[in-house]
């Protein structure tokens, strides 16, 4: 939208271009009356000249003032003494009286420049000259003749028309012709006032004709009218001010929620004080930037500049007092600074919130050549400032509340509510564009461990740093928000789901740079899920929920995961399993399966891993990752662990009593290690069944939560002190190294099955397994190879001198009765020399 066109504004000194011709025209119109009217009919009344001069001077105070842009049209009782002077005095005296009366008040109240003085004198001269020309052409008779009334009325009309034409000419020259229609419309009511003045003048003329002493009554009436006019004008100003104050207060109250306070405030203040400009200045405060806005009389909008010199603003802020400077008001130094800024007068009022000065409200340049700001104006703007200060603070409070409602207090990012609003806006504005709206959801890994080990203050610093990095790395136009405790979302437009996944991967890599928190270097990773509109959802909440589903899957796969329908069905199924799992745990429906662990040096059965299995009455066999995830998110994990631990320890007691001592292994989630009561719970179970602590191995998955230490490390240490053996499960699939494991009190490492199963065909997998076995031996750790499914794999492991193996080559996980049968068959003694527990035939049990 183009900016409003600036108004034309030329120098006031160009009024000379009108003044010169006006003097010439006035002289030409005055010549007949001055040089050819040899016998004025009322020459014997020359003694009325001083009285009429005094009357004319007093009449200048009895005016209806109309401010039109930077000019003032004064219409009022001036016509009464002029009408009387036209009847009683010769033209030359009428001209002199009009010029003196017109300039006396002007000179004493405004002190204008020479060009303005001369112009006003010329306009008065030309107006009276036109009136005398009418009298010369039409002649007048006695005061009682209606014809005389008509001639005098026409003379007054001619006087006003010429004066009005002179002012219109100057306005057109200085400010352009565009404002002439407005000036004429404003001046039109003045002709009605002129008619009242003509009638009043004729009444006075007839009264004087009846008796010359009536002049005393006329003088008395004139004084009373002057005083009444001033009182009425003051009343009108007060009434207008009260109405404007009411309107301003009402309008300010309605702008606290829409951000239009400066527009309404400055427009009202400027109009109320009839000023050329009104300005609002608010210095920077907190997150609020500096505000400087001005409403100008000749500009339709708001400007970001103000005519007020900084000196006045700083003085008001420093002293907390109003600064008012004008042609005859204020310190001389301030008046000099005001003149240098080409401003006629100014009022600067400090805005307060309580006892604190928060800014200034300013008006500059009282409109009208004959007026300046006075005490009443100062009191008025001080009253306005009190309302304005409260309104500004209320506006900032509303703004702050709106900001807080849409932003996270810790990071300053958009919160979940704002993110959903932005998604809705992006969806509705997409139209037929080829781009898609994408949501990238980042879940910060191991934040809980940072909180546990370093405190929540450190965790907050991590979140702030993640927010900063995301803001810096996010593409232009993307919205970054924090939508959960450790979850961040980015809304952006991109070409496709693949492009969104690439962006997510780039951002994830950028977040992996080490962070220094409280002199400690912390490695932070994130899981990322991606969902796009419209393929994955048509509502903001639905799209964000599906990004959550993708993020949850990304946790188990370690990659950026794009949502698909299969993920949703699995997630929905998990939600439905929550109540069923609680019932299954309470009713003992979960079953514990057992898978053997075999020593590879002599192929002797040394232990079993205890695994939970759940046969759902509707869904059938539920995968362990599904119901374990349900247990984690519904607070049932401790109950699930208790079921497996209790069954494993009870069976260990039974096997020991049967002469087959076996070590039992139980998987624990890293989240379980955050429970400080876990060591006590295990100790009580071991004591209850009389099982030595070293018969129990707890397997913990290799992830960042384990490596971060904190409360998890404390729990592990207490378990080790208890005598329980500890094992790192699925080693090699994560990011840890033996240097990381050296900090943990573990005695065993289980190689991830993916490397074991591929070692027979993949040289790289074979090298990884060989390295893990060698390094574990150097660190004094036992090694268990998971996923042993072939004789070739078994032979390779034996060559490496791997300690133990576990896999389908020996047996699948079996329920207790079937495991007992397998155990009886596999450990049957063929001879008295065969050691108990030796696995004679290594065949799989389907």
Q: For 141-182, how does the pLDDT look when each residue is reduced to its tens digit (9 = 90+)? A: 777 788 888 888 888 888 888 888 877 777 777 666 655 666
The residue among 440 and 264 whose pLDDT is bigger is 440
Banded model confidence at residue 257, pLDDT cuts 50, 70, 90: low
Banded model confidence at residue 785, pLDDT cuts 50, 70, 90: very high
The predicted pLDDT at position 709 comes to: 53
Phi/psi of residue 382, nearest 5 degrees: -65, -40
The predicted pLDDT at position 807 comes to: 92
Closest by alpha carbon to 207, among 193, 196, 194, 221? 221
- Cα→Cα distances 723→547, 664, 823, Å: 43, 14, 27
The residue among 297 and 490 whose pLDDT is bigger is 490
The residue among 262 and 707 whose pLDDT is bigger is 262
Q: In the structure encoding, which two tokens stand for residue 176, read together?
A: 């352009």
The predicted pLDDT at position 770 comes to: 92
The predicted pLDDT at position 398 comes to: 67
The predicted pLDDT at position 237 comes to: 62
Q: What is the pLDDT of residues 286-324, one digit of tens each?
A: 666 788 888 887 777 788 888 888 888 888 888 888 888
Of the ranges 225-229, 400-404, 460-464, the best mean pLDDT one: 460-464
The residue among 64 and 394 whose pLDDT is bigger is 394
Q: What is the mean pLDDT of residues 240-268?
A: 65
Closest by alpha carbon to 156, among 213, 94, 102, 100? 94
CB contact set of 656 (below 8 Å; sequence gap of 6+): 662, 691, 695
Q: For residue 235, is pLDDT > 60?
A: yes
The predicted pLDDT at position 664 comes to: 95
Q: For residue 38, is pLDDT > 60?
A: no
Q: Among 145-159, 525-539, 706-720, 814-828, which is the least confidently predicted range?
A: 706-720
Q: Among 160-174, 455-469, 775-789, which is the least confidently predicted range?
A: 160-174
The predicted pLDDT at position 192 comes to: 66
Banded model confidence at residue 368, pLDDT cuts 50, 70, 90: low
The predicted pLDDT at position 468 comes to: 92
Banded model confidence at residue 208, pLDDT cuts 50, 70, 90: confident
The predicted pLDDT at position 805 comes to: 94
The residue among 552 and 839 whose pLDDT is bigger is 552
Banded model confidence at residue 598, pLDDT cuts 50, 70, 90: very high
Phi/psi of residue 441, nearest 5 degrees: -110, 120
Q: For residue 481, is pLDDT > 90?
A: yes
The predicted pLDDT at position 836 comes to: 44
Phi/psi of residue 506, nearest 5 degrees: -60, -45
Please tell me whether residue 583 adopts helix, strand or coil conformation.
helix
**DSSP annotation string for 523-559:** ---EEEEEEEETTS-SSHHHHHHHHHHHHHHHHHHTS
The predicted pLDDT at position 258 comes to: 55
CB contact set of 318 (below 8 Å; sequence gap of 6+): none
Q: How many CB atoms lie within 10 A of CB 33?
A: 24
CA 328 to chain centre: 46
The predicted pLDDT at position 815 comes to: 92
Of the ranges 379-393, 394-408, 594-608, 708-722, the best mean pLDDT one: 594-608
Q: For residue 33, is pLDDT > 80?
A: no
Q: What is the mean pLDDT of residues 764-769?
A: 88
Q: What is the mean pLDDT of residues 243-266?
A: 65
The predicted pLDDT at position 823 comes to: 84
> Which single residue is written with the structure tokens 């903001």?
540
| 173: Cα within 13 Å, side-chain hemisphere | 15
The predicted pLDDT at position 846 comes to: 41
Of the ranges 377-391, 639-653, 825-839, the best mean pLDDT one: 639-653
Banded model confidence at residue 72, pLDDT cuts 50, 70, 90: very low
The predicted pLDDT at position 61 comes to: 63
Q: How far apart are CA 260 and CA 251, in angstroms?
A: 10
For the range 610-614, what are the long-range contacts, defined as Cβ-Cβ under 8 Å and sequence gap of 24 or more? 610/644, 610/647, 610/648, 610/651, 610/664, 610/665, 610/666, 611/644, 611/667, 611/813, 612/640, 612/643, 612/644, 613/813, 613/815, 614/581, 614/584, 614/589, 614/590
The predicted pLDDT at position 609 comes to: 95
CA 773, 775, 780, 783: dihedral to nearest 10 degrees? -20
Q: At what angle do helices 447-454 and 456-473 cross, to 10 degrees?
A: 140
Q: 431: left (phi > 0), else alpha (psi -120 to 50), else beta?
A: left
The predicted pLDDT at position 229 comes to: 60
C-alpha radius of gyration, the chain, whole number? 49
- Cα→Cα distances 63→75, 365, 677, 754, 758, Å: 5, 22, 94, 102, 106
The predicted pLDDT at position 6 comes to: 43
Q: What is the mean pLDDT of residues 458-479?
A: 90
The predicted pLDDT at position 830 comes to: 37
Distance between first and last Cα of the chain: 78
What percent of the chain has pLDDT above 90? 19
Q: How far apart are CA 369 and CA 601, in angstroms?
A: 112
The predicted pLDDT at position 187 comes to: 64
The residue among 573 and 533 whose pLDDT is bigger is 533
Evaluate the omega torsion of the peptide bond into residue 534 and state whether it is cis, within 30 degrees of 0.
Answer: yes
Q: For residue 378, is pLDDT > 60?
A: yes
What percent of the chain has pLDDT above 70? 77
Banded model confidence at residue 366, pLDDT cuts 50, 70, 90: confident
Bridge partners (DSSP) listed for residue 68: 71
Average pLDDT across the chain, whole number: 79
The predicted pLDDT at position 343 comes to: 85
Of the ranges 112-121, 640-649, 741-750, 757-766, the best mean pLDDT one: 640-649
Please tell me whether residue 90 adopts helix, strand or coil conformation.
coil
Q: What is the mean pLDDT of residues 615-629?
A: 81
């Amino acid at each position: 939208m183009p900016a409003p066109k600036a108004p034309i504004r030329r120098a006031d000194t160009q009024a000379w271009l009108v003044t010169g011709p006006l003097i010439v025209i006035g002289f030409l119109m005055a010549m007949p009356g001055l040089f050819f009217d040899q016998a004025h009919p009322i020459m014997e009344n020359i003694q009325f000249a001083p009285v009429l001069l005094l009357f004319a001077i007093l009449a200048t105070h009895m005016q209806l003032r109309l401010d039109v842009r930077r000019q003032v049209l004064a219409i009022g009782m001036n016509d009464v003494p002029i009408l009387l002077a036209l009847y009683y005095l010769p033209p030359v005296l009428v001209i002199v009286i009009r010029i003196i009366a017109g300039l006396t008040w002007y000179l004493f109240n405004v002190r204008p420049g020479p060009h303005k003085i001369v112009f006003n004198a010329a306009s008065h001269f030309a107006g009276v000259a036109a009136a005398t020309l009418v009298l010369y052409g039409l002649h007048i008779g006695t005061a009682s003749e209606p014809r005389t009334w008509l001639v005098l009325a026409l003379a007054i009309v001619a006087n006003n028309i010429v004066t009005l034409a002179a002012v219109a000419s100057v306005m057109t020259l200085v400010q352009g012709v565009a404002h002439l229609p407005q000036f004429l419309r404003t001046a039109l009511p003045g002709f009605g006032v002129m008619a009242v003045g003509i009638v009043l003048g004729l009444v006075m003329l007839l009264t004087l004709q009846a008796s010359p002493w009536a002049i005393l009554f006329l003088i008395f009436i004139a004084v009373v009218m002057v005083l009444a006019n001033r009182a009425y004008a003051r009343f009108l100003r007060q009434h207008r001010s009260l109405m404007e104050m009411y309107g301003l207060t009402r309008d300010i109250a309605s702008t606290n929620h829409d951000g239009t306070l400066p527009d309404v405030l400055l427009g009202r203040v400027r109009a109320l004080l009839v000023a050329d400009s009104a300005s609002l200045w608010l210095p920077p405060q907190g997150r609020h930037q500096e505000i400087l806005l001005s409403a100008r009389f000749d500009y339709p909008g708001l400007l970001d500049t103000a005519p007020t010199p900084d000196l006045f603003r700083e003085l008001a802020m420093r002293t907390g007092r109003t600064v008012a400077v004008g042609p005859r008001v204020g310190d001389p130094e301030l008046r000099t600074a005001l003149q240098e800024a080409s401003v006629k007068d100014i009022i600067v009022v400090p805005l307060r919130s309580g006892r604190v000065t928060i800014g200034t409200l300013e008006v500059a340049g009282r409109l009208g050549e004959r007026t300046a700001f006075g005490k009443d104006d100062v009191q008025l703007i001080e009253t306005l400032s009190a309302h304005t200060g409260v309104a500004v603070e209320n506006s900032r409070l509303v703004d702050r509340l709106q900001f807080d409602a849409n932003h996270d207090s810790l990071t300053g990012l958009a919160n979940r509510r704002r993110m959903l609003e932005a998604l809705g806006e992006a969806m509705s504005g997409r139209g037929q564009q080829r781009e898609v709206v994408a949501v990238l959801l980042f879940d910060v890994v191991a934040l809980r461990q940072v909180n546990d080990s370093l405190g929540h203050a450190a965790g907050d610093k991590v979140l702030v740093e993640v927010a900063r990095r995301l803001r810096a790395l996010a593409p232009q136009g993307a919205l970054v928000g924090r939508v959960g405790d450790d979850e961040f979302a980015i809304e952006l437009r991109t070409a496709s789901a693949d492009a969104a996944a690439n962006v997510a991967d780039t951002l994830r890599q950028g977040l992996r740079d080490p962070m220094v928190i409280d002199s400690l270097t912390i490695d932070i990773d994130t899981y990322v899920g991606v969902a796009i509109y419209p393929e994955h959802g048509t509502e903001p909440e639905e799209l964000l929920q599906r990004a959550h589903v993708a993020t949850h899957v990304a946790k188990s796969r370690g990659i950026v995961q794009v949502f698909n329908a299969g993920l949703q069905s699995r997630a929905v199924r998990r939600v439905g399993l929550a109540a069923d799992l609680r019932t299954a745990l309470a009713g003992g429906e979960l079953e514990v399966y057992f898978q053997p662990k075999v020593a590879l040096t002599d192929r002797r059965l040394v232990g079993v891993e205890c695994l939970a299995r759940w046969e759902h009455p509707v869904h059938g066999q539920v995968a362990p990752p599904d119901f374990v995830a349900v247990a984690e998110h519904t607070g049932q994990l401790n109950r699930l662990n208790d079921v497996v631990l209790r069954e494993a320890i009870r069976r260990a007691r039974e096997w020991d009593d049967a002469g087959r001592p076996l070590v039992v292994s139980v998987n624990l989630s890293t989240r379980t290690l955050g429970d400080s009561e876990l060591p006590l719970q295990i100790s009580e179970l071991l004591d209850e069944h009389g099982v030595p602590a070293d018969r129990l191995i707890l397997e913990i998955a290799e992830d960042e939560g384990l490596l971060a230490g904190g409360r998890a490390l404390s729990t592990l240490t207490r378990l080790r002190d208890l005598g329980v053996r500890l094992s790192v499960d699925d080693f090699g699939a994560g990011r840890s190294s033996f240097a990381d494991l050296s900090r943990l009190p573990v005695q065993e490492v289980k190689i991830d099955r993916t490397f074991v199963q591929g070692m027979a065909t993949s040289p790289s997998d074979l090298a990884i397994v060989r390295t893990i076995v060698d390094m574990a031996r150097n660190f004094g750790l036992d090694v268990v190879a998971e996923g042993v499914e072939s004789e070739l794999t078994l032979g390779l492991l034996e060559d490496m001198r791997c300690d133990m193996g576990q896999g389908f080559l020996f047996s699948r996980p079996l329920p207790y009765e079937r495991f007992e049968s397998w155990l009886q068959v596999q450990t049957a003694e063929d001879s008295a020399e065969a050691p108990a527990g030796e696995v004679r035939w290594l065949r799989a049990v389907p």
